[in-house]
Structure 1
Amino acid sequence: MMLQQYTKEFKYNFNLAAPVMLGMLGHTFVGFVDNVMVGQLGSAELAAVSLGNSFIFVAMSLGIGFSTAITPLIAEADSEDNFAKGKSSFKHGLVLCSILSVVLFILVLLSKPLMYQMDQPEEVVVLAIPYLDLVAISLIPLIIFQAFKQFSDGLSLTKYPMYATLLANVINVVLNYILIFGKFGMPPLGIVGAAIGTLVSRVVMLIFIYWLLLIRTKSKPYVTNIKVFVLHQPMIKKLLNLALPSALQMFFEVAIFTAAIWLSGTLGKNAQAANQIALNMASMTFMVAIGFSVAAMIRVGNQKGLKNYLDLRRIALSTFLMGAVFAVFFAICFFIWNQWLPTLYLDLNDLKNLADNTEVVSIAATLLLTAAVFQISDSLQVIILGALRGLQDVKIPTLITFIAYWMIGFPISYILGKENQLGSLGIWLGLVAGLTAAAVMLLIRFNFLTKKLLLENQ
């Protein structure tokens, strides 16, 4: 009976989370297709995409993390039936995300010379720079799209971002096939073709979600007659107080995974390619946890608006439980198929690169065993973080993520990840330690806050 009070929320949680999962999985699936297609060109090309994307991921983490501040504000205004508050939150969030997208694009371009200072294989750097130039431009439509996505999620219209993302994915896959390999009379552009596919698909994704929100009765008043030059300082301040810590939370996590890519690069192109494969597989399962994180953020935000703190705590715990169940399932899959999954990315019939490709598969298989372990803590920490954002508690969780990833996780990765220590496995053991520390500390924080709210409102 005790368990039933949580399991009865599973259906609603899943219905809310599923479109987010499918959209995010579709988004990550494009990365999977990119990696599989580029992997056919060789391990150097795969490592180059990994290196180029490592810069993009850092910028994306700031942009996406920043945009998440919009969702709890919209969810709270929606439950209060306060249209003016909701529209103001969306408008100011859209303007701030648009400005941030241009700033991040410029910062990525300015950071390119760092590639030569990072002890990466030279052939990989030469391939990565033209790829990065084009993908950097795609940050602008991507982060503006995120503002619309987070707004749509806040209204519980989680299907619309999914539709836009899935359309973008189809376009990306088709363009990749044509441009990477030079089909239908086009010249083969290699990894630059993959970058063009990414850019075009993200522009289409932004246009499509705007159109979807424009034709829906509930969302149309929010996305029309937006007076972007009429801004109010209190709302900007409120959004920044939520958005900047949220951006830092995501940055601290993505940055440690980016550091893992760079540390892998110091071990050679094969270690870096293997890291990219394992990271891509782990990120696909992580998108399921992201779905539950968004569901937790929306539902906690709604209950906060209603001031129903008993249900708030129960509903949040139900999302944590669901996330844990799915994470254990994925962990088992990684344990069973760790040897086979990496072979999807490389051509083992390519005799010229057989030695390199075989080594990549061997390293990636070991890393997937480690990924199986951190599935559970990684899922829990992001779902709990979503619930805390729904409570609009962002400052202490930001400190927690910094301590977990950069004072616990990274030192372990750096020390154990050296060639004369455990190499790639050591890097990933640091990730396990950081994610587990984050999950434990965030759960303590959530437990403390919700019990305090219950005591104050008895």
Structure 2
Amino acid sequence: MHSKTSEENCKMNLSQYTKEFSYNMQLAYPVIIGMLGHTLIGIVDNIMVGKLGSTELAAVSLGNSMIFVAMSLGIGFSTAITPIVAEADAEKDNSKIRSAFHHGLFLCVILGFSLFGLVVLAKPIMELLHQPKEVIALAKPFVDWVAFSLVPLIIYQGYKQFADGMSMTKVSMYAIIMANILHVIINYCLIYGVWIFPKMGIIGAALGTVISRIAMVVFMHMILSRRERLKQYFHDFSFDEIKKEMIKKIVNLGLPSAMQMLFEVVLFTAGIWLCGNIGKTSQAANQIALSLASMTFMFAMGLSVVSMIRISTQKGLNDYKQLVVVARSIFLLAILIEILFAIMFVALHQILPYLFLNMENQSQILDNQEVIAIAAKLLLVAAVFQISDGIQVVVLGALRGLQDVKIPMYITFVAYWIVGFPISFYLGEYTSLKAVGVWIGLLAGLTAAAVFLFIRFHYLTKKMISENASK
């Protein structure tokens, strides 16, 4: 009798979480498609450039690693616009919406140009990190162009976060789909020299990225400025409206979020550089595994945004018990999705790397076989680490929903740089594990982040429930 009751309780507990799944996915899918679109631009570059050879693939990998660091700062910072706009929209305060949008866009323009300048100035880092000479020679001109694409990308983020705050998540999804179609067409013409176009190799890939990102901004501006309810926010912009208080508010919210993203992205970038030190086949293999893991990670990223939105709603309603149910339902959904991807990676670890290389190129055949052997091993580690990665990012989203950004910033720093990086460095440089050792370090860092962030969330919600009960 007792076991039957506990079985029923367990089913009831599980059903209170699973009944939230469909609403979570409904909110998450436009965000996931948008995130996948960002990643796809890099993956398309890798697949198309991989057909040219492993040196070209390593050059794009090295160039994009520098861009990703800057991109994480820009995207992390811009997330501050959404909660301010959403709050003002709930209050029906049009002047506050306008202020958050204009200040956010103004800061995104400044940040976009600043990041472009920083990346161009940071190019000598490639030599300091002892990357292969032939890879650096190809990567430098590629970096100049792709760094410039950060300007339209960060401006696009300003529009996207504004639209998300107004609960219009599908607009950015359409912009990304359009950009990806355009990107593939331009890449195909300019990388291989099709029809009247010159054969530009990896510079063609960089130009494809720049043009498609400019098109994204134009698309967002046209769609949003023509919406009847948004027209009032798109006219009479003046610098007199820029106020210190709103800039301070956006910076205070945006900076810790930017730092959290930076700590994780720089850890992965350090992984790329460590693999570059080991050799170009390890670097190319790392890029293949990272491209695939990044795609599956976007599902967790989408759920992280949902986590932030739904948790902040429950917090506003002061319903902390339901807040915990909603949070756990999102955590559970993320774990289930990542386990499915883990099974797929284990089953296909020998097959997936072939998508990225031209096996018919006889001069590259030995290099390519070595790349595939290393990438297959990395995918087995990736299968496990994406479960940890999925948990840490959705819990981080929940903590942002609770407006708890500073402590998680310190947690992520310790997990990635005190735990993860030393393990990556030691196993990659001083043991026979090489690239696999680098990835074991990444797994250790992500697992530490997942555990400590979950403890932080559990501690805060328990405290909120008990304080609420004692009132």
- TM-score for both structures, normalised by structure 2: 0.94
What secondary structure does 2:241 align onto? coil
What secondary structure does 1:3 align onto? helix
Corresponding residue number in structure 1 for 2:14: 3
User: How do 1:105-254 and structure 2 match up within 5 A?
Assistant: 105-254=116-265
| Most deviating of 181-190 and 300-309 | 300-309
Amino acid at match of 1:31: G
Corresponding residue number in structure 2 for 1:33: 44
Residues 304, 92 of structure 1: CA spacing in aligned structure 2 closer, same or farther, 3 A cutoff? farther
User: Aligned partners of 1:18 and 1:188: how far apart in 2?
Assistant: 37
User: Aligned partners of 2:229 and 2:310: how far apart in 1?
Assistant: 18
* Residues 204-223 of structure 1: per-residue CA shift (max 9 Å, x gap): 00111122222333444344
Corresponding residue number in structure 1 for 2:349: 338
Corresponding residue number in structure 1 for 2:334: 323
Residues 316, 81 of structure 1: CA spacing in aligned structure 2 closer, same or farther, 3 A cutoff? farther
Question: How far is the alpha carbon of 1:450 from its aligned partner?
Answer: 1.9
Match of 1:94 among 105, 112, 117: 105
Corresponding residue number in structure 2 for 1:57: 68
* Residues 264-312 of structure 1: per-residue CA shift (max 9 Å, x gap): 0001111100000000000000111111011111222333333333333
User: Aligned partners of 1:402 and 1:96: how far apart in 2?
Assistant: 25
Does the Cα contact within 8 Å between 1:73 and 1:301 map onto a contact in 2? Answer: no
Question: How far is the alpha carbon of 1:26 from its aligned partner?
Answer: 2.3
User: Aligned partners of 1:148 and 1:307: how far apart in 2?
Assistant: 30
User: Aligned partners of 2:206 and 2:444: how far apart in 1?
Assistant: 34
Amino acid at match of 2:190: L
Question: How far is the alpha carbon of 1:394 from its aligned partner?
Answer: 0.7
Question: How far is the alpha carbon of 1:228 from its aligned partner?
Answer: 4.4
What secondary structure does 1:112 align onto? coil
Question: How far is the alpha carbon of 1:449 from its aligned partner?
Answer: 1.7
Corresponding residue number in structure 1 for 2:381: 370
Does the Cα contact within 8 Å between 1:275 and 1:367 map onto a contact in 2? Answer: yes
* Residues 398-448 of structure 1: per-residue CA shift (max 9 Å, x gap): 001000000000000000011643100000000000001111111111112
**Greater C-alpha radius of gyration:** 2
Does 2:269 align with 1:258?
yes
User: Aligned partners of 2:375 and 2:137: how far apart in 1?
Assistant: 24
Question: How far is the alpha carbon of 1:337 from its aligned partner?
Answer: 0.1
Corresponding residue number in structure 2 for 1:300: 311
User: Aligned partners of 1:185 and 1:318: how far apart in 2?
Assistant: 54
Q: RMSD between aligned alpha carbons? A: 1.5
Does the Cα contact within 8 Å between 1:246 and 1:398 map onto a contact in 2? Answer: yes
Residues 79, 444 of structure 1: CA spacing in aligned structure 2 closer, same or farther, 3 A cutoff? farther
User: Aligned partners of 1:163 and 1:223: how far apart in 2?
Assistant: 20
Match of 1:271 among 282, 307, 315: 282
Residues 341, 452 of structure 1: CA spacing in aligned structure 2 closer, same or farther, 3 A cutoff? same
Does 2:354 align with 1:354?
no
* Residues 45-102 of structure 1: per-residue CA shift (max 9 Å, x gap): 0000000001100000111111111222223333344333333222222221211111
Amino acid at match of 2:213: R
Paired residues, number: 458
Amino acid at match of 2:141: P
Match of 1:447 among 432, 437, 458: 458
What secondary structure does 1:144 align onto? helix
Corresponding residue number in structure 2 for 1:286: 297
Corresponding residue number in structure 1 for 2:449: 438
Does the Cα contact within 8 Å between 1:153 and 1:298 map onto a contact in 2? Answer: no
* Residues 110-138 of structure 1: per-residue CA shift (max 9 Å, x gap): 00111111111000000000100000000
Amino acid at match of 2:360: N
Question: How far is the alpha carbon of 1:7 from its aligned partner?
Answer: 1.6
User: Aligned partners of 1:36 and 1:331: how far apart in 2?
Assistant: 22
User: Aligned partners of 1:327 and 1:74: how far apart in 2?
Assistant: 31
* Residues 367-387 of structure 1: per-residue CA shift (max 9 Å, x gap): 000000011110111111111
Does the Cα contact within 8 Å between 1:43 and 1:356 map onto a contact in 2? Answer: yes
Match of 2:424 among 393, 413, 422: 413
User: Aligned partners of 1:442 and 1:223: how far apart in 2?
Assistant: 39
| Most deviating of 177-186 and 154-163 | 154-163
Does the Cα contact within 8 Å between 1:260 and 1:427 map onto a contact in 2? Answer: yes
User: Aligned partners of 2:312 and 2:101: how far apart in 1?
Assistant: 15
User: Aligned partners of 2:424 and 2:28: how far apart in 1?
Assistant: 32
User: Aligned partners of 2:331 and 2:240: how far apart in 1?
Assistant: 41
Amino acid at match of 1:444: I
Residues 106, 181 of structure 1: CA spacing in aligned structure 2 closer, same or farther, 3 A cutoff? same
Does the Cα contact within 8 Å between 1:118 and 1:262 map onto a contact in 2? Answer: yes
Corresponding residue number in structure 2 for 1:24: 35
Structure 2: 5+ residue runs without aligned partners?
A: 1-11
Does the Cα contact within 8 Å between 1:156 and 1:298 map onto a contact in 2? Answer: no
User: How do 1:393-432 and structure 2 match up within 5 A?
Assistant: 393-418=404-429, 420-432=431-443
Does the Cα contact within 8 Å between 1:400 and 1:438 map onto a contact in 2? Answer: yes
Does the Cα contact within 8 Å between 1:30 and 1:169 map onto a contact in 2? Answer: yes
User: Aligned partners of 1:419 and 1:348: how far apart in 2?
Assistant: 31
User: Aligned partners of 1:251 and 1:231: how far apart in 2?
Assistant: 27
Residues 259, 48 of structure 1: CA spacing in aligned structure 2 closer, same or farther, 3 A cutoff? same
Aligned-pair identity (%): 58
